[in-house]
């Protein structure tokens, strides 16, 4: 089993975050509204992110990864999301795929795919959700039928980020019979140019418009036995373990987007006057800002605690990740929405950027497991244990 890397020192983390914030200010923030309006997936920008090591933040260094701990990764995603939550979230998803290959892949799979993924010369997609299997992922119906030459995959995946752009797709498919449940699911690496692989039209979404989202359709896609990740029947466990890290990434992106919205609002209420005084002089506004700051501070603490638990492979790491994801994505959306409200009519205008952040953060309460599912995870564990660890 891999040993988790130690967290960076304060000085090391500060140096990395300075570089990430410079990249965010130069590359992400200035063009965020244009990317959103025109639905641009900026491959050149992603490649420059790869030059900073952002394509394999927690991937081991022998294949070009940065080899960082989860707590440092969370700080990076937060900093990226202050410039554009949509692209920051995609980078988190891409890192989730790279992490699957790094942790569960063979050395051949690692050396074949990871150098290109960690540099972000090529991008990747995570394929679990289906049209009829979202929150109930264990009921997925995509099949992988073994034959003498490998496997033949047939099925449809839904809501797949970067579909049609990716060089490789991590696909969860059923190798067991229809009644096998989670135990019958396996994971496969499917190249983007595989015969029989096709894609639906780009979905026109409320937010996250800078990353394409399409169906992935597998019509008798043949892959060799070497495309299997881990062993047959391990796919659901691999998918859920990857989602623990993915949930922290999305939680951190929510904090980053909301932090930007709140910082902008603090400046606005100090400058804007109403009824003869600055908005910042009104007690209701001060109370709102205090609640926003408290929510973000609590969310960040939950994410940091869950990241440490995940790196330490604590027994309750999955529950902590679920708690952090639920709280941070709810809080992030609430703070961004409150920031828009405090801007009044100006907050509703595209040029102020607040309505984009609200739209981007809304989906964070749905993906990587809906927040209702996060409550199920936490509640069931509470009932099983009788009390939560302290």
Q: What is the pLDDT along the chain (390 residues), one digit of tens a residue?
A: 577 888 889 999 999 999 999 999 999 999 999 999 999 999 999 999 999 999 999 999 999 999 999 999 999 999 999 999 999 999 999 999 999 999 999 999 999 999 999 999 999 999 999 999 888 889 999 999 999 889 999 999 999 999 999 999 999 999 999 899 999 999 999 999 999 999 999 999 999 999 999 999 999 999 999 999 999 999 999 999 999 999 999 999 999 999 999 999 999 999 999 899 999 999 999 999 999 999 999 999 999 999 999 999 999 999 999 999 999 999 999 999 999 999 999 999 999 999 999 999 999 999 999 999 999 999 999 999 887 767
Q: So what CATH class is 10-123? A: mainly alpha
Q: Are 162 and 90 in contact (CB under 8 A)?
A: yes
Q: Identify the helix (H) or strand (E) that includes residue 14.
A: helix 10-23
Q: Give the DSSP per-residue string, 230-246.
A: SSTT-HHHHHHHHHHHH
Q: What are phi and psi of 308, to 5 degrees?
A: -65, -40
Cβ distance 335 to 261 under 8 Å?
Answer: yes
Beta strands 168-174; 124-127: pairing state:
parallel
Helix (H, G, I), strand (E, B) or coil at 30: helix
Asked if 23 contacts 81 with a C-beta cutoff of 8 angstroms, the reply is no
- Beta bridge pairs of residue 174: 143, 185
**Cα(62)–Cα(115) distance, integer angstroms:** 9
User: Which residue do the tokens 């003869």 mark?
Assistant: 276
Tokens representing 50?
């790869």
Active-site residue, from 27, 78, 82, 368: 368
In the chain, where the domains are located = 10-123, 126-231, 236-385
CATH number of 236-385: 1.20.140.10
Catalytic (active site) residue 368: yes
Residue 302 tokens, joined: 């939950």
Tokens representing residue 293 in the block: 């700051």
The residues, any chain, with a CB within 8 Å of residue 39's CB and separated by 6 or more, are: 202, 204, 209, 210, 212
* Domain 126-231: assigned CATH number: 2.40.110.10
């Amino acid at each position: 089993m891999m040993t988790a890397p130690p967290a960076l020192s304060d000085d090391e983390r500060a140096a990395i975050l300075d570089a990430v914030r410079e990249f965010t200010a130069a590359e992400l923030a200035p063009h965020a509204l244009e990317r959103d309006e025109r639905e641009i997936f900026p491959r050149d920008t992603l490649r420059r992110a790869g030059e900073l090591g952002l394509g394999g933040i927690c991937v081991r260094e022998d294949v070009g990864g940065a080899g960082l701990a989860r707590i440092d990764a969370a700080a990076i995603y937060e900093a990226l999301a202050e410039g554009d939550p949509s692209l920051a979230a995609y980078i988190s998803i891409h890192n989730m795929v790279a992490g699957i290959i790094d942790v569960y892949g063979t050395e051949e799979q690692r050396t074949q795919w990871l150098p290109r993924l960690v540099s972000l010369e090529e991008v990747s997609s995570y394929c679990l959700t289906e049209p009829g299997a979202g929150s109930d992922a264990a009921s997925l119906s995509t099949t992988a039928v073994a034959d003498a030459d490998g496997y033949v995959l047939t099925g449809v995946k839904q809501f797949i980020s970067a579909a049609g752009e990716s060089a490789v797709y991590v696909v969860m498919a059923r190798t067991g019979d229809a009644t096998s449940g989670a135990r019958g699911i396996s994971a496969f690496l499917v190249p983007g140019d595989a015969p029989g692989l096709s894609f639906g039209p780009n979905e026109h979404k409320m937010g996250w418009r800078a990353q394409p989202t399409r169906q992935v359709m597998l019509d008798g896609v043949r892959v060799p036995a070497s495309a299997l990740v881990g062993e047959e029947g391990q796919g659901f466990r691999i998918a859920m373990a990857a989602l623990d890290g993915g949930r922290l990434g999305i939680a951190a992106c929510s904090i980053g987007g909301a932090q930007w919205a709140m910082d902008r609002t603090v400046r606005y209420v100090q400058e804007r006057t109403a009824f003869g005084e600055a908005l910042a002089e009104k007690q209701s506004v001060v109370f709102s800002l205090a609640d926003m700051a408290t929510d973000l501070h609590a969310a960040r603490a939950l994410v940091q605690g869950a990241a440490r638990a995940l790196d330490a492979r604590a027994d309750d790491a999955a529950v902590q990740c679920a708690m952090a994801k639920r709280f941070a994505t709810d809080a992030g959306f609430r703070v961004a929405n409150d920031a828009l409200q405090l801007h009044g009519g100006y907050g509703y205008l595209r040029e102020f950027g607040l309505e984009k952040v609200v739209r981007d953060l809304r989906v964070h309460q749905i993906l990587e497991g809906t927040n209702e599912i996060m409550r199920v995870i936490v509640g069931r564990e509470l009932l099983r244990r009788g009390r939560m660890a302290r």
